[in-house]
Amino acid sequence: MINLFKVVSLLEGLSYILLLFIATPIKYIYDNHTYVKWLGMPHGLLFVVYIILAYFLWESQKWSAKEFSIICLLSLLPFGTFFVGKYLKE
């Protein structure tokens, strides 16, 4: 499950960056909602999967409540999910 979480955290972070720094500016500068529509739903699904997987890994990885909170908060920061590997043990 750790490998799945690594992939999901990478994809979630990438979708967040694309949504924030490409799709949203295009939406407001060019009044084109297409990219937000294309990236919004996949990002939302990846975010939910990320949180669910983090919850399941909480016990198996023996994270403290603080570590779990940090993992969840990293999903809210651009580039945050790229640093999740620090908390993962094989």
Residue in this structure with the two tokens 């779990």, named with its chain if needed: 68
Supply the DSSP symbol for 77: S
Q: Model-level pTM?
A: 0.88
As a dihedral over the C-alpha atoms of residue 52, residue 44, residue 84, residue 58, rounded to 10 degrees, the angle is -10
- Angle, helix 2-18 to helix 34-60, in steps of 10 degrees: 150
What does the pLDDT profile of the chain (90 residues) look like in tens digits?
Answer: 888 999 999 999 999 999 999 999 999 999 999 999 999 999 999 999 999 999 999 988 888 999 999 999 999 999 999 888 777 776
Write the burial class of residue 3 (CB in 10 Å: 0-12 exposed, 13-18 middle, 19+ buried): exposed
For residue 82, what are the contacts with CB-CB under 8 A and spacing of at least 6? 9, 10, 13
